[in-house]
Structure 1
Amino acid sequence: MTTGREYLRVSVDRSGRQKSNDEQQEDNRRCWSETDFGEPYRDVGSASRHSRTRRDGFDDLLDDLRTDRFGAEHLVLWESSRGSRKVGEWVELLELCEQRSVKIAVTTHGRIYDPSNSRDRKSLIEDAVDSEYESSKISTRVRRDAAALAAAGHPHGPVRFGYRRRYDPDTRRIAGEEPDPAEAPVIEELFARLEAGDSLRAIATDYERRGITTRTGKTMSPQFLRHFATNPAYAGLRLHVPGRRNGRVKPGEGSLTEGQWPAIVSMSRWHAVQKLLGDPTRRTNHGRNVRRGAGRHFLSMIAVCDPCGSVLIVGSENRTNRAPFYRCQQAGHVQVSKAGLDDVAERLIISYLRDRRNTHVDPGADTELAALRDQIAAIQVELDDLADQVGRGDLTAALAARAEPGIRKRLETAQQREIELSTPGVLRRLLGPGADIAARWADMPMSAKREAARLVLSPGYVGQLRVTPNPVPGRRGTPVEERVVLLRKETNELNSPNSIEE
C-alpha cells in the first residue's frame, strides 16, 4: 500500500455546481483505494493569478515539501487546476515534488505523474498553462460584463442603506431598487442638514440619541455618515472604477453614469454637499491630532491675526479666574476676549444678512437653481461618457473633439447661471420667511454657526475678520471693535467695521 496526502481546494461557489472539498475527497479515495491517506491540506478560494485571497493550505503544502515534512509518496489532486492556475506556482510545486521524490496523482485523469519524467512534467506544465489561460479569459469576460452593466447604470454589490430590492415574482431575479420607506428619510435628513451647515459629528450624536443605527444595530459614527454623504448612488448615479475590487474611492476616481434606480437626494444637493465636505478650510486640525473641543468655538481657526495672517485659536487656560480668550496660533501676536470677539462677529453677520441687498432668497429662483444644478450634473455625466466612449473605441477622437466644445459651452453657460442664482445652503435656514434672523441664529447649532461665519466673514462677503494687537500693551480696556479690521476682496484693503447693527 502506498501513502498519500491530498490538497483539496474549491473556489467560493454560489452556483452549487462545483465539487466541494468533501466531494473531492470521496472521489480521490474511491480512485486511489490502495492508498493510505494522511492529513489533507484544505483551501477555499480561487487559485487564479487575479485572486488576492491567501491560500494557507497551499502555503503549508509548499513549506512541508521545502522542509521535508510532507511524509507521503504521493500528492493527490482531484484535478490539476486544483493545485494552481498560476504557472509560476505550479512549476515551483513540481520542482519541490521532484526534489522530494513525490509523485502527483490526478483523480480526474486516473493516472500518476512523475515530475522527474520529462514527458509527465511537460503534460503537467501544459495543464497549468491551459488553466491560467482559461482563468484569464474568465477574468476578462467578468471585467467586460461589469463595465457594460456600469455603463447601463445597473446596481452593483449589496443593497446600500436607504434602498431595498424589488424581485420579479416569477423568476425571483432582481427587478430593481427603490427607496426604503424607513431608511431613505435618514439619508434625506443627512444631506439636508449637511447642506444647512450641521457637522457630521453633530448629526451622528443626534442620530445616536434618537436610536438611529445601521442595519446591524451599530451606532452611525461621523466617518460612517461621511461614507453615506459622499456616495453618488444616493443622487441616482452609478460609479464604476475599472479594476477596483474594494477599498475607498479617491475623489475624481472612476466614471459616473445615470443609475437605473430613483435618487433619494437631488444631484444639486449632492454636489453642494461634496463641495462642503471637500472644503479644506473646514478642517480644524490642519494636519495635527484633533484638539479636544476642536470645532466647538465659534471663531477658532476662522478669525485671523492681522500682523502675521495666522488663524486664532482658543488660548489654553491655567488661571481659573481668567475668562476664555482667542490668541494667535503662530506666535502669540494678539490676544482678545473670546466673548467680546464672538459678539462682534455675530452682530456683523446678522446685520449683513438683514440687508436684503446682500442676500436674496426667491422661492422661484430656488426651484430654478435645483433644476439648473441637475442640468449641470447631467452635462458633466455627458462629458464623462464621451471620454469613456473614446476609451472603449466606440467613438473616434476626431468625432469626440467636434462634440466636446459644444458640450463644454453648455456647461459653462449653466454654471454661470448657477452663480447668479446661488445662495449658499448654510444661509438658507437664516434667510427664509418667518422668525427674525437673530432668533434663527440663536437656535442654530455651533457647527452651522461656524459654517455661516466661515462664509460671511470672508473677503467676498463682509470681509475677513482680522484682529490687531492691543494699541496699549497691558491695557485691557480697549474695546474689541477698535481692534477688528475687515479685509475685503474688491479692494484688498483693511476697513474698520464702522456700522454694526445692535
Structure 2
Amino acid sequence: MTLQQTSGEAAARAAREYLRVSKGKGKTARSITDQHADNLASEAVHGPWTWGEAYTDTGSASKYAKKTREDFERLLTDLRSGAFGEPGTVLVLWEISRLARETGRGVSLIDACEQRGYLIHVTSEGETGRTYDPRNYADRHSLVTGIADAEKEARRLSARTLRGLNSAAREGRPQGQVPFGYVREYEVVDGRPRPVAQVPDPETGPLVKELYERVVGVGGDLPEPMYAIAKDWEARGVVGKNGKTFSPQSLRAMLLRPCNAGLREHNGVLTPETWEGWTPIVSRELFDQAQRLLADPTRRTYTGESIKHVLTMTLKCDVCGGGMVVMTRRKKGTADAVGYQCGPKGHVWIPKEETDRVLIGDLDATDPETGEPAPELGVILAYLSAPHRVSALRQQPSSDADTNAVTAELNHLRAELKELEDAPSPKTARARIQRTADMEEVENEIALLEVRLSTMVTPDPLAEFLPDRGETDLITWWRTADVQRRRAVAALLLAPDVLGQVRVRPSPNKRNAAPVTERLRWVRADEAA
C-alpha cells in the first residue's frame, strides 16, 4: 500500500535518512550526496517532511562485510527505544539494499518500525519513490522480500567470486595486491601482461621469514616482542611499500596473513585449496606456531598484573600509530576527565567512558526513566552476543575420516561443475537457463563445503579464551572474566584481520570535541602495512 499525502494535510511528517555507500578497489557506489538529493526530490511528491539528523555509514551491508556499520546499529537502537522520533516518523532509504543484505538483520529493523509505528520510504522505487507501512501485511511482505532478494544476490556474488579465486588458484594465477615479501612473474597473454606465479622477493622475503622466526623463537632462541623487532627494523631502514617504517601492529598483521604460508582465505575463512603458482615464504608449521603464539593469553603483549583497563594499547593513535593509555586531565574549577591518550607523544585524547560504551558496551546501564536494567552492546559485546558464537568458536578440528569425507564430496562437486562448464551450449533458451541454474546451485554447494572444510581443520584463536563448556552465554562470561582475559579478547577482535584496528583521530575542534564515533577510524589488514 502506497501512502500518499492528501491535499488537506498541512502538517509535515518528521523524516530521517539512512545513507550508506559502499567502497572498494577504486569503485564507489552511488554517493551519499546523490542519495540525499534524490530523497529531497522524492519529498516534493510524498512530503512535506521535516528532516531530522541523518544516519550515515560507509561500508558493505552484506553478511560478508568485515567492518561494523556504527550508524546502522545506532539506528536500530533508536528505532527500538523510540528515540528515532514520534510514531509516523519516516525512515527514508535510497533503496532497500542500502539497509541490509542479511534477512534477519533487515527483518529486525522492520519489526522495530512496526512496533513503534514508523514508516519506511524507498526513494528508488517507481518514478517518485514509495512509502511503506510495516503494519500493513502487504507492505511488510514487500520490504522483507526486497531484503531477502538483496541477501540472495550478495551470496550469489560471493559464490561466483570464490569460484573465480579457486579457478585462479588451480591455474596458479595470483590475484589482488602483491603482499610484502613477494614478487610476481608475468607473461603476455592476449597482448596484456598476466600474473602467472608469485615467489618470495629476494630482498623482502627473508625479512618476513625472519619475523616469524624471531617472534616464535627457533633454534633455541627466545621469542622476541614485536615492539623490539619494529625498533630493530627501523634502525636497519626496513620500510613497507608505502615507504613507512613498520609498527608492532603492522608486524602483527603481517604474521596473520595466510598467504605467507601459501594458504588462501575467503571472507576471513581459510580455504582448502592453495595457490599452485605461489611459493610460500614460511612453512605451515612455522605459520601455525605463530598463530598459536599470537592467540596465547599469557603473552606480555596482552596481560600483566598492572593491567586495569580493557582497551589500553589496543586503541592506536591515528597520528603516530602508538598505543593509547588511560590518562586523567585535571583542570581548576572543573571535574577530572578520564580518557585515552596517545602514549608515546600525547597526540590525541578521547573520553574513556564514551569510547568504552561504543567499542565494548555497558552491561550495567539502566533506563533513566524506569531504572530497569537496559544493557548497551558495543562492537565487541555485539559480536560476542551472536547466538552461534560459542558453538562456532568451540568447533574442534575434526577427525581425518570426517575431513576426507568432506574433501571427497567437494571433489565430486567440482568435477560435476567442470562437466557442466565443458558441456556443449544448449540449443534452446530454456535449456540454457536451466544449465545456468544448475551451475549456480553446484557453485553454492561448493562454497558451503569449502567453508565447512576450513572450519574443520582451523579452530578459531578466540577458542583459547572460552569459558567452561557448561556455559553458553559469552556475555555472562564477559561480566565475570578478569580484565586480562577481556583485554586479550578485545585485542584479538580489534585487530586488522578481524573487526579492524581502531585508531583515534585528533579532534577537529578542541573546544567542542567531535563525537567519539566520528573520531574512530577502522583500519583493515590490507591498509595496516
Q: TM class by shorter-chain length?
A: 0.3 to 0.5
Rg (Cα) greater in structure: 1
**With structure 2 as the length reference, what TM-score do the two structures score?**
0.43
The higher relative CO (CA closer than 8 Å, separation ≥ 6) is in 2
